[in-house]
Structure 1
Amino acid sequence: MYSLLVVDDEQYAVEGVMEAIDWKSIGIMAVYGAYSSEEAKNIIRQHDIQVIVCDIEMAEESGLDFLKWMRTEGYFAKLIFLTAHARFDYAKESITLGATEYLMKPVDHDILKDTVAAALKAWQEDEKRESQVQEYEKICAKLSQGELKKLLDSYQDQPELIPEQLQDGLIYRVKEYISQNLEGDLNRETIAGQVFLNAAYLSRLFHKETGEKLSDYILRLRMERAKDLLTSTSEKVTSIAQRLGYNNDSYFIKTFRGMVGVTPYEYRKQTHNSRKKEVTL
């Protein structure tokens, strides 16, 4: 069952949208109304909402701030903004935050109905894709190396033809391999070999799917692991560097400082002093 939430600090506006349109005709079976962002937040916490129609200008908290809260809290309903003022800054920020549409008040009911229908369709497509990605991730995680190689053999000459959902699963497997082998020799050829892809193609695919370079991802995880080891053990910095694949201590220290802002020695001291203060308090 699909649900719609209407948010506006003017009661007549909420009731007008809720009651004047035949929402069931486009698959919306439940319609909720809220007269403030706080009311809207409570409804979202209690109900599964797919589409939201929200006024931008509200007395207590703006629709833009409400959308920021939604994204921070992990709610990804499609949101359609309504506004009585044609302001470029509103339109620009709403797009940046991922709003589905930006409509002017008073809005034609047929246009609003069609816009909500399109937003619901987009939500359904996102849901389907997410389900497919999760399924492929499970499949790729469970396949043996032999089974995975057999699955990918037909794409060896044209890896760009690998289905997108399968690509997502391969990236999941690559991340798992990296996480399990941070304390060792990690290079893109070795990693690519785990998923039977050309190293150059894997680098391009990883960047396309994650927005992060493969080398940067490995570096970031290694520095996080270094921070954990510096905090939770008394192991020497030299030993930690070697565990993480750095044979040159100076290079490890320089890299750590570039990423964290302080040297490993300073980081350990700061963390130790911070914990000491907490115990004292």
Structure 2
Amino acid sequence: MNVLLVDDQKAIVESLKKGIHWENLPVRQVYTACSAKEAKLVLRNFEVDVLVSDIEMPEENGLSLCRWAKEQFQEIECIFLTSHADFAYAKEAIAMGGFDYVLQPVKYREVEAVLLKAWDKISSRKKLRRLENTRKLVIEQRNTILDAMLSKMLRDKGEEADQIYRHFAEMFRMEYDNCTVHPVLVQILKWKRLSDTWEENLVRMTLCNIAEELFADRDVRAGISCLREDRYWLFLVAEKGAVGDDLWHRRLKEFYSFVNENMDFSVGVYPIAELEEDLTFSQVFGRLGRRAEGNKEKKPGIYWEDVETVGHAEETNPIDTAVSYIRKNLSKNISRAEVAELVHLNEEYFSRLFRQETGDTFKDFVLLEKMKAAKKLLAETHPSVSIVASKVGYDNFSHFSKMFKKMTEVTPQEYRKDRQKR
């Protein structure tokens, strides 16, 4: 930790700096100041964990300095040096944010003891923050893995998705002796505020938090994935046997009621009814997906039973749909926003998913497809280059020629001449 010593008497500051056995304390750096003004300058420019200050100083006293420091740096600890044995005065210092106080004339051992107490508090707080940051990182990793699993499923790679699902529980081996995964599909059916939908990450976080809170007494953890804006795959993980069928049914009803009564959207909830079933993710995906597809009227509720549907019941890959749309509409000026809306995805999320699936940004992919189509037209047909340009969405002939040469290192005319010679 870093410590700042403040007293209007320079001799006292120097005495503290020399007299305290800093080598026996977890202190990296000791700063000094002889006024509140100097102290503020140090605090603005250096990281300080503990402020040790005299209370009575001219111009601005230690109480005022500590109050300012707490406003600017909430986690700083303040220790007061005071010649007042009056407990009421010291109590005021503690009440307004001070950590402790030492009576003057100062005994170095007392200061050392108080600094060690401050370090215990600071280190505990830092440890909690590290644990919280680690927990957030683990949650992000779990959700990333779930995204990969769902992506595999949508790309008809069910075996790979099933393998990821089997190993998903292993990520909780530090928290449970023998855990089990309970999947639920949550479908947003209608937004109550049509002009103010939430960011996808906020929906994810909200659904996870509600679920974990409702199952908190069973120490349940939640992971979530979403590759379509309206469908969220929620995975609740608990110690095997901790959540029985009756509790599962009761708490999911509470989950459904809370979301529909308090959130800005209404939902359909599609859970696995019998928790003892040992299902692959392919089976879960198909079964719950069919229930969502069967809710054609989009009525809110909990749907425990499987339904029969006509035609395909499983979700189609939104990126496959996007790619197909791009290739069929190369003569148009296709925008990312337009295609994202077509596949019902948030634009930013669509952009990330598109690059993950295709290896190209949306803009680069469209350009490559246009140039690929242009090369085919130039090589196999005889319309003028300007007509070829218009067929791949370029109104400006010179711009098309410039982009074509940039991609192929030859002009459209040179490309046609070379290809039609062969």
Normalised by the length of structure 2, the TM-score is 0.37
Q: Give the letter for the 1:36 counterpart.
A: S
| Aligned amino acid, residue 126 of structure 1 | R
Structure ranking higher in strand proportion = 2
Q: Does the residue aligned with 2:68 lie in a helix, a strand or coil? A: helix
Q: How many residues align?
A: 181
The answer (yes or no) to whether the contact 2:51–2:79 under 8 Å persists in 1 is yes
In structure 2, stretches of 5+ residues that fail to align are 147-164, 180-197, 219-261, 267-422
The Cα offsets for residues 113-172 of structure 1, whole Å up to 9 and x where unpaired, read as: 222223223322222221121111222244237758973984999xxxxxxxxxxxxxxx
Q: Residues of 2 paired with 1:200 and 1:20: CA distance?
A: 51
- The aligned residue for residue 138 of structure 1 is 137
| Alignment of 1:27 onto 2:48 | no
Matches within 5 A, 1:258-273: none
8 Å Cα contact 1:7-1:55 kept in structure 2: yes
Distance in 1 (alpha carbons) for counterparts of 2:96 and 2:199: 33
1:81 aligns with 2:80: yes
Where in structure 2 are the equivalents of 1:102-121 lying within 5 Å?
102-121=101-120
Q: Does 1:45 align with 2:27?
A: no
Q: Residue 3 of structure 2 aligns with which residue?
A: 4
1:180 corresponds, among 202, 214, 232, to 202
Mark the CA change 1:192 to 1:151 in structure 2 (over 3 Å): closer, same or farther. farther
Matched ranges for 1:161-176 at <5 A: none
Which runs of no fewer than 5 residues in structure 1 stay unpaired?
A: 158-175, 203-241, 247-281
Instruction: State yes or no: 1:198 paired with 2:214.
Output: yes
Give the counterpart letter for 1:92 in structure 2. Answer: K
Identity fraction in percent: 25
Larger radius of gyration between Structure 1 and Structure 2: 2
Q: Secondary structure at the match of 2:81?
A: strand
Alpha-carbon spacing, 1:29–1:198, altered in 2? closer, same or farther (3 Å) = closer
CA distance in 1, matches of 2:119, 2:178: 38
CA contact (8 A) 2:70 2:97 kept: no
C-alpha contact 2:67 2:97 (8 A) present in aligned 1: no
In structure 1, give the amino acid aligned to 2:40: K
Displacement, 1:86?
Answer: 2.9
Counterpart AA for 1:27: P
Whole-angstrom CA distance in 2 between matches of 1:36 and 1:148: 58
1:198–1:92 distance in 2 versus 1, CA, 3 Å: same
Is the contact between residue 86 and residue 104 of structure 1 (CA under 8 Å) also seen in structure 2?
A: yes
Q: Give the distance between the partners of 2:216 and 2:123, measured in 1 at CA.
A: 34
Q: 1:140, 1:148 within 8 Å by CA — same for their partners in 2?
A: no
The one-character-per-residue Cα deviations of 1:8-33 (angstroms, maximum 9, x if unpaired) are: 11222212111222212323343221
Alpha-carbon RMSD: 3.7
In 2, the alpha carbon distance for the partners of 1:125 and 1:48 equals: 18
Residue in 1 that maps onto 2:17: 18
- Give the TM-score of the pair, scaled to structure 1: 0.53
